Amino acid sequence: MFIEEKTYLTAENLAIGYAGKMGNFKLLQKSINEKLMQGDFVCLIGPNGCGKSTLIRTLSGMQSPLNGRIYINEKEIRQLTNAERSRLLSIVLTDNTVVGNITVAEIVALGRYSYTNWIGTLELKDKQILSESLNKVGLKGFESRRLNTLSDGEKQRTFIAKGLASDAPVMLLDEPTAHLDIPNKVGIMTLLRHLTRLAKHSVLVATHELDLALKLADEVWLMLPDQTIYKGTPEELIFSGNLDRVFGNELLRFDPHSGNFAFNTKPTGSIIVEGKKKNLDITLQAVNRIGFTTNNLNDNKAVRIIVSNNHWIIDMSGNKVEFQSLAETCRFLRNINE
């Protein structure tokens, strides 16, 4: 059955930037025409200084555009009151400056301010939404915990819960995984995608986590240095060549086949790796990492490594050396190649 797609946020001929010291304006991006659809998890990536944070702030209404219009649920953002905008859009910034001894419940309750009465009293429905928001981000039971007792990952989940409490269909986030360790980075990004599936929120997140964006996003917006944005699925982006054009340099290149970045290193030799499957793959990766090409069977001068379950044998034209660990094997190969 066909379900009609709903547009939650639209940028129309948008130009973004900021005022300079001399009163002039610094243009970062122009002619932005993008749509954020219901239930989409979109990642915004690009090099430092291209305007990712400026776009997030501009789309949220925190910063005025240099040109163009922004619509949320087909309503122009400039015509909305603060309360109306808060009910349609929530934003989570990198630096959330709040008092450290405030509780989790008090922070999340701020997301309901546009619904409460003039003295900010939470009704039963507000309290239920607060509880549901904490439950969605895995912080049930944290209501009385104070912000300064939370880990960085728990703090980010708290601010995401605050955004959810607003019940807004659109959520914008600027670097929500900054300063987090790898498990928390994965946890936050996975949570955001899950929220789009769970409640049909539309999420746009500016991030430097390129590997996670390519694995989790429904769509990726890549800001190019020439003041344009390339949009597509992760697969389209990977094979477009734009990732290498934007991020690649003499030291680094993007490999579309692996979907990862690789170092531009000149091969220092050729090695044929063979043997037991258990250690074969990690040996191939380790040998590639230290600069050798592998398994060119036409190279008669190639060094051979025979891999077993618990030792490695290096065969150099009949001269064999045995090692008990992969680290010792790699160290020997580095030394003979210097």
Which two structure tokens, joined as six digits, stand for 290?
């230290």
Which has the closest alpha carbon to 224: 11, 29, 87? 29
- Angle at the Cα of 178 from the Cα atoms of 177 and 180, rounded to 5 degrees: 70
Q: What is the pLDDT of residues 57-98, one digit of tens each?
A: 999 999 999 999 999 988 999 999 888 998 999 999 876 666
Which has the closest alpha carbon to 234: 209, 263, 253? 209
**Mean pLDDT of all residues in 101-105:** 90
With beta carbons less than 8 A apart as the criterion, state whether 314 and 329 touch: yes
**Mean pLDDT of all residues in 269-282:** 85
Reply yes or no on whether the pLDDT at 211 is more than 70. Answer: yes
Q: How far is CA 39 from CA 2, 67, 72, 81, in A?
A: 15, 28, 15, 25
**Mean pLDDT of all residues in 137-158:** 91
C-alpha–C-alpha distance, residues 139 and 134, integer Å? 5
Residue 307 forms beta bridges with which residues?
Answer: 275, 312
pLDDT given for residue 2 in this prediction = 46
Could you give the percent of the chain with pLDDT greater than 90?
A: 48
Q: What is the pLDDT of residues 15-68, one digit of tens each?
A: 999 877 666 778 899 999 999 999 999 999 999 888 999 999 999 999 999 999
C-alpha–C-alpha distance, residues 63 and 82, integer Å? 13
C-alpha–C-alpha distance, residues 91 and 65, integer Å? 17
DSSP 28-51: EEEEEEEEEETT-EEEEE--TTSS
Within 13 Å, how many C-alpha atoms sit on residue 163's CB side? 28
